[in-house]
Amino acid sequence: MVFESHDDPHDVPVAPADGSANTSDDSVLALKILVAGGFGVGKTTLVGAVSEIRPLRTEERLSEAGAALDDSRDVVRKTTTTVAMDFGRITIRAGLSLYLFGTPGQDRFWFLWDDLAQGALGAVVLADTRRLEDCFPAVDYFENRGIPFLVAVNCFPEARAYGAGEVARALDLDRGTPVVLCDARDRDSGKEVLIRLVEHAGRVHTARLLDSVG
């Protein structure tokens, strides 16, 4: 198992998901973001590409025993899998940092999701159009818990290209849930996904706040 990090994810001063934290002029607002999706969809790659620190990774080599449980038909080059979480950090602008928590993709590790989701502003659900059904559990999880999310289609070179609208219809997403296309290997592409998520989650939380006082 590999643990690599310059920061301790357990000591992250994450702001409440409702945005109610008070910060001084010289402080940094830290927002917690989840990166979820199916097995082998690019979660570890995305966190590693955008992180400005050496990411923490909890990976194990794929075994013959796990081959019976993990569908790796479209990810034949994948030799490791996340068994706990990935962790990274990116500064979006002065005074605003995102702490990224990548969830494990296999269903046998879903018991970890509730702990990882505590205090999260929102989530990125990564999707592979060759195995679009693999992201249904993540979509259902965040919809059922009211956690704002967007779907980021990781555009693998071998995969057939689909438009954002087609993906949204195939996943039967709630109206207003963003779908964006990205390359999880590219830092700028990944950063744009995160910016879109923060904007979307901000609108959702603001609307809920206004509804609660209206």
Residue 104 pLDDT exceeds 90: no
Q: Which amino acid is at 130?
A: R
pLDDT digits 0-9 by tens, 116-152 = 999 999 999 999 999 999 999 999 999 999 999 999 9
Helical axes 43-50 vs 187-213, angle rounded to 10° = 100
Phi first, then psi, for residue 144 (nearest 5°) are: -65, -25
Structure-block tokens of residue 61: 């080599």
Helices and strands in the chain: count of H runs, count of E runs: 6, 7
Which distant-in-sequence residues (6+ apart) come within 8 Å of 94 by Cβ?
none
Cβ contact 126:43 at 8 Å: yes
Count of residues for the chain? 214
**pTM higher than the cut 0.85:** no
* Greater pLDDT, 114 or 2: 114
Helices (H), the chain: 43-50, 64-67, 113-117, 136-145, 164-171, 187-213
154: phi then psi, degrees, rounded to nearest 5 = -80, 110
Contacts (Cβ under 8 Å, ≥6 apart) of 109: 82, 83, 84, 103
Structure tokens at 108: 């046998």
For the stretch 151-166, pLDDT in tens is 999 999 989 999 999 9
59 Cβ contact list (under 8 Å, min separation 6): 1, 2, 44, 80, 81, 82, 83
CA distances, 74 to each of 62, 134, 172, 178, 196 (Å): 15, 12, 23, 25, 28
Evaluate whether 47 touches 88 at the Cβ level (below 8 Å). Answer: yes
**What average pLDDT does the chain have?**
83
- The answer to whether 200 and 142 have CB atoms below 8 angstroms apart is no
Q: What is the CA radius of gyration of the chain?
A: 17
Instruction: Kindly report, residue by residue over 77-90, the tens digit of the pLDDT.
Output: 545 555 458 999 99
